[in-house]
Amino acid sequence: MINEKTVEAVFAGGCFWCTEAVFKRLKGVVRTEPGYTGGQIKNPAYREVCSGRTGHAEAIRITYDPEKVGFGDLLEVFFATHDPTTLNRQGNDAGTQYRSAVFYRDEAQKQQALDFIRSLEEQKAFNDPIVTEVTEAGPFYPAEEEHMDYYDRNESQPYCQVIISPKLQKLHHLYKDKLREA
Protein backbone atom coordinates (compact mmCIF):
# COMPACT_ATOMS: atom_id res chain seq x y z
CA MET A 1 0.00 0.00 0.00
CA ILE A 2 2.59 2.58 1.06
CA ASN A 3 5.85 2.24 -0.84
CA GLU A 4 8.97 4.09 -1.89
CA LYS A 5 7.02 5.97 -4.56
CA THR A 6 4.80 7.79 -2.07
CA VAL A 7 5.42 11.23 -0.60
CA GLU A 8 4.16 12.90 2.56
CA ALA A 9 2.60 16.32 3.01
CA VAL A 10 1.45 17.88 6.27
CA PHE A 11 -1.27 20.54 6.41
CA ALA A 12 -3.02 22.28 9.28
CA GLY A 13 -6.31 23.89 8.31
CA GLY A 14 -8.23 24.13 11.55
CA CYS A 15 -9.91 21.06 12.96
CA PHE A 16 -8.19 17.92 11.72
CA TRP A 17 -11.53 16.14 11.39
CA CYS A 18 -12.35 18.54 8.53
CA THR A 19 -8.98 18.36 6.84
CA GLU A 20 -8.87 14.57 6.93
CA ALA A 21 -12.40 14.25 5.53
CA VAL A 22 -11.43 16.42 2.56
CA PHE A 23 -8.10 14.85 1.63
CA LYS A 24 -9.04 11.20 2.04
CA ARG A 25 -11.47 11.63 -0.87
CA LEU A 26 -8.80 12.62 -3.41
CA LYS A 27 -7.42 10.33 -6.10
CA GLY A 28 -3.82 9.43 -5.38
CA VAL A 29 -4.08 9.90 -1.61
CA VAL A 30 -2.97 6.61 -0.11
CA ARG A 31 -3.42 7.46 3.56
CA THR A 32 -4.52 10.32 5.81
CA GLU A 33 -3.67 10.58 9.46
CA PRO A 34 -4.80 13.28 11.88
CA GLY A 35 -2.30 14.35 14.50
CA TYR A 36 -0.32 17.11 16.11
CA THR A 37 2.77 18.98 14.94
CA GLY A 38 4.62 22.24 15.39
CA GLY A 39 4.71 22.25 19.18
CA GLN A 40 7.17 22.06 22.03
CA ILE A 41 6.40 18.81 23.89
CA LYS A 42 6.72 15.18 22.84
CA ASN A 43 3.66 12.96 22.41
CA PRO A 44 0.97 15.51 23.24
CA ALA A 45 -2.57 14.37 23.97
CA TYR A 46 -5.71 15.94 22.51
CA ARG A 47 -6.62 17.63 25.81
CA GLU A 48 -3.15 19.22 26.02
CA VAL A 49 -3.25 20.45 22.42
CA CYS A 50 -6.79 21.85 22.90
CA SER A 51 -5.49 23.95 25.79
CA GLY A 52 -3.35 25.88 23.31
CA ARG A 53 -0.34 25.67 25.62
CA THR A 54 1.72 23.07 23.70
CA GLY A 55 2.16 25.07 20.50
CA HIS A 56 0.94 22.16 18.37
CA ALA A 57 -1.47 22.51 15.50
CA GLU A 58 -4.15 19.98 14.70
CA ALA A 59 -2.79 18.70 11.40
CA ILE A 60 -3.17 15.97 8.83
CA ARG A 61 -0.33 13.86 7.45
CA ILE A 62 -1.12 12.86 3.90
CA THR A 63 0.68 10.03 2.13
CA TYR A 64 0.16 10.31 -1.60
CA ASP A 65 1.27 8.94 -4.93
CA PRO A 66 2.83 11.86 -6.86
CA GLU A 67 2.11 10.08 -10.15
CA LYS A 68 -1.63 10.39 -9.40
CA VAL A 69 -1.87 13.68 -7.48
CA GLY A 70 0.70 16.42 -7.22
CA PHE A 71 1.67 18.59 -4.29
CA GLY A 72 0.26 21.54 -6.26
CA ASP A 73 -3.12 19.79 -6.44
CA LEU A 74 -3.02 19.25 -2.68
CA LEU A 75 -2.21 22.93 -2.13
CA GLU A 76 -5.10 23.96 -4.40
CA VAL A 77 -7.59 21.83 -2.46
CA PHE A 78 -6.13 22.92 0.88
CA PHE A 79 -6.54 26.63 0.18
CA ALA A 80 -10.02 26.14 -1.31
CA THR A 81 -11.42 24.21 1.66
CA HIS A 82 -10.43 26.35 4.64
CA ASP A 83 -9.99 30.04 5.40
CA PRO A 84 -6.26 30.88 5.16
CA THR A 85 -6.89 34.51 6.14
CA THR A 86 -7.90 34.08 9.78
CA LEU A 87 -5.05 33.95 12.26
CA ASN A 88 -5.36 31.02 14.66
CA ARG A 89 -9.02 30.46 13.84
CA GLN A 90 -11.33 28.40 11.64
CA GLY A 91 -14.97 29.28 12.21
CA ASN A 92 -15.75 28.89 15.91
CA ASP A 93 -12.50 27.02 16.58
CA ALA A 94 -9.99 29.53 17.96
CA GLY A 95 -6.43 29.14 19.19
CA THR A 96 -2.99 28.42 17.78
CA GLN A 97 -3.94 24.74 17.52
CA TYR A 98 -6.32 25.74 14.69
CA ARG A 99 -3.83 27.79 12.69
CA SER A 100 -3.40 27.50 8.95
CA ALA A 101 -0.03 25.97 8.07
CA VAL A 102 1.91 24.03 5.48
CA PHE A 103 4.61 21.97 7.18
CA TYR A 104 7.04 21.29 4.33
CA ARG A 105 9.18 18.16 4.04
CA ASP A 106 11.78 19.56 1.65
CA GLU A 107 12.81 22.73 -0.17
CA ALA A 108 10.66 21.86 -3.19
CA GLN A 109 7.50 21.73 -1.05
CA LYS A 110 8.52 24.94 0.71
CA GLN A 111 9.06 26.82 -2.55
CA GLN A 112 5.89 25.46 -4.13
CA ALA A 113 3.83 26.51 -1.09
CA LEU A 114 5.36 30.00 -1.04
CA ASP A 115 4.84 30.41 -4.79
CA PHE A 116 1.23 29.21 -4.50
CA ILE A 117 0.49 31.70 -1.72
CA ARG A 118 2.16 34.49 -3.71
CA SER A 119 0.01 33.61 -6.72
CA LEU A 120 -3.19 33.66 -4.64
CA GLU A 121 -2.21 37.05 -3.22
CA GLU A 122 -1.48 38.44 -6.70
CA GLN A 123 -4.85 37.16 -7.94
CA LYS A 124 -6.52 38.68 -4.89
CA ALA A 125 -8.20 35.32 -4.37
CA PHE A 126 -9.19 36.36 -0.84
CA ASN A 127 -10.42 39.68 0.52
CA ASP A 128 -7.88 39.60 3.36
CA PRO A 129 -4.17 38.71 3.43
CA ILE A 130 -3.22 35.03 3.69
CA VAL A 131 -1.78 34.21 7.11
CA THR A 132 -0.91 30.56 6.42
CA GLU A 133 2.49 29.79 7.87
CA VAL A 134 4.98 27.79 5.83
CA THR A 135 7.17 25.97 8.33
CA GLU A 136 9.61 23.09 8.17
CA ALA A 137 7.99 19.86 9.28
CA GLY A 138 9.07 18.57 12.65
CA PRO A 139 7.84 15.57 14.61
CA PHE A 140 4.28 14.47 13.84
CA TYR A 141 2.34 12.75 16.60
CA PRO A 142 -0.69 10.70 15.48
CA ALA A 143 -3.93 11.62 17.19
CA GLU A 144 -5.82 9.24 19.41
CA GLU A 145 -7.88 6.50 17.75
CA GLU A 146 -11.22 8.27 18.28
CA HIS A 147 -10.05 11.07 15.95
CA MET A 148 -9.21 8.75 13.06
CA ASP A 149 -11.82 8.82 10.26
CA TYR A 150 -13.98 10.97 12.53
CA TYR A 151 -16.32 12.31 9.87
CA ASP A 152 -16.98 8.94 8.27
CA ARG A 153 -17.81 7.41 11.65
CA ASN A 154 -19.85 10.39 12.92
CA GLU A 155 -21.44 11.94 9.83
CA SER A 156 -24.75 12.57 11.58
CA GLN A 157 -23.17 14.53 14.46
CA PRO A 158 -24.16 18.24 14.39
CA TYR A 159 -20.52 19.43 14.07
CA CYS A 160 -20.02 17.16 11.06
CA GLN A 161 -23.26 18.29 9.44
CA VAL A 162 -22.71 22.01 9.97
CA ILE A 163 -18.94 22.32 9.50
CA ILE A 164 -17.56 19.37 7.53
CA SER A 165 -20.40 18.49 5.14
CA PRO A 166 -20.34 21.94 3.47
CA LYS A 167 -16.58 21.58 2.89
CA LEU A 168 -17.18 18.23 1.22
CA GLN A 169 -19.95 19.70 -0.91
CA LYS A 170 -17.55 22.43 -2.04
CA LEU A 171 -14.90 19.79 -2.74
CA HIS A 172 -17.35 17.81 -4.89
CA HIS A 173 -18.44 20.95 -6.72
CA LEU A 174 -14.97 22.35 -7.46
CA TYR A 175 -12.85 19.20 -7.78
CA LYS A 176 -15.06 16.41 -9.04
CA ASP A 177 -12.29 15.32 -11.44
CA LYS A 178 -9.82 14.95 -8.54
CA LEU A 179 -12.03 12.67 -6.43
CA ARG A 180 -11.57 8.95 -6.09
CA GLU A 181 -14.29 6.63 -7.30
CA ALA A 182 -17.06 6.15 -4.76
Residues forming the active site: 15
Q: Are the C-beta atoms of 29 and 63 separated by less than 8 Å?
A: yes
CA 137 to chain centre: 13
DSSP output for 38-51: S-SSSS--HHHHHT
CA 119 to chain centre: 19
Q: Are the C-beta atoms of 77 and 23 separated by less than 8 Å?
A: yes
Sign, CA torsion 13/17/22/26: positive
Q: Are the C-beta atoms of 11 and 74 separated by less than 8 Å?
A: yes
Contacts of 47 (CB under 8 A, 6+ apart): none
